[in-house]
Amino acid sequence: MDTTHKIVIVDLNPIRAAILEDGLREAGYSDVIRIHEMQSLLTRIYAIDPDVILIDLENPSRDVLEQMFQVSRAVKRPIAMFVDQSDAASIEAAVDAGVSAYIVGSMQKERIKSILDLCISRFNAFARLQNELEKTRSQLEERKVIDRAKGILMKAKNLTEEQAYALLRKTAMNENKKIADVAQSVSEMVRTQILQQSTMAVLAQANQAPQMALQLLK
């Protein structure tokens, strides 16, 4: 495992923080920074820009846990959280917040390297899963846009589905664009035309209103 990672330790207890730091340095990690205050914690972490964050909370209150979970959701880094006691709700909240390793029980510096390795591995695996999910969502959205544009072209130009797709593909090649981008342009053009037609219809009705009023008065 890469030992060049910059690691931040968040711990109000200097003795426990020293145990963590000793365990990291014995494992070969030299770039270790301690944070001893919770005030402006997120700002400090952003300024340091660590690769990994270790948070030791001993017996945290609900408010402190929620503050740490907010940090986890915001920084998008591997986070290992150490607590002496916990419950099912806190563990579930930690998972939802993206904490990579939630360690309950006594802390031993001999275990720190293996915990850190696990934390980084879990974070990377989850990041890959998120990327795949986002890619799939994007592909589904592009497919919807393309299908919508095909329908528009089929109706406007009396084309088959294959002909409509071929037209989109040819236009994309000629303009050096993605088919989905061309399809989006087609949909936006139709949307603009509909809005213009609606506006013209409203104006026409407004112009006819005085004449209709006069007819009612006759």
pLDDT tens for each residue of 33-92: 999 888 888 888 999 999 999 988 877 777 777 888 888 888 889 988 888 877 788 888
176 inside domain: yes
Model pLDDT for residues 149-198, shown as the tens digit of each residue: 899 888 888 889 999 899 999 999 998 999 999 888 888 887 777 666 66
pLDDT at 136: 92
pLDDT digits (tens, 9 = 90+) for 104-136: 877 777 788 888 888 889 899 988 998 899 999
Q: At what angle do helices 14-26 and 112-157 cross, to 10 degrees?
A: 80
Domain-embedded: residue 77: yes
Residue 131, domain member (yes or no): no
- Cα separation, 34 vs 18, in Å, equals 9
Question: Helical H runs in the chain?
Answer: 14-26, 41-48, 62-75, 88-97, 112-157, 161-174, 179-217
The answer to whether residue 40 sits within a structural domain is yes
More confident residue, 53 or 200: 53
What domain count does the chain have? 2
Same-domain check for residues 209 and 149: yes
- The answer to whether residue 123 is domain-embedded is no
Say whether both 98 and 161 belong to one domain. no
97 and 151 together in one domain: no
Tell me the residue range of the domain where 180 lies.
137-217
Give Cβ neighbours of residue 182 (< 8 Å, ≥ 6 apart).
149, 168, 171, 172, 175
Burial class for 41, CB neighbours closer than 10 Å (0-12, 13-18, 19+)? middle
In a domain, residue 121? The reply is: no
Please state the pTM of the whole predicted model.
0.65
The CA distance from 19 to 25, in Å, is: 10
Q: Decide if 41 is inside a domain.
A: yes
CATH number for the domain that contains residue 39: 3.40.50.2300
In-domain check, residue 155 = yes
Are residues 144 and 99 part of one domain?
no
Q: How far apart are CA 34 and CA 56, in angstroms?
A: 11
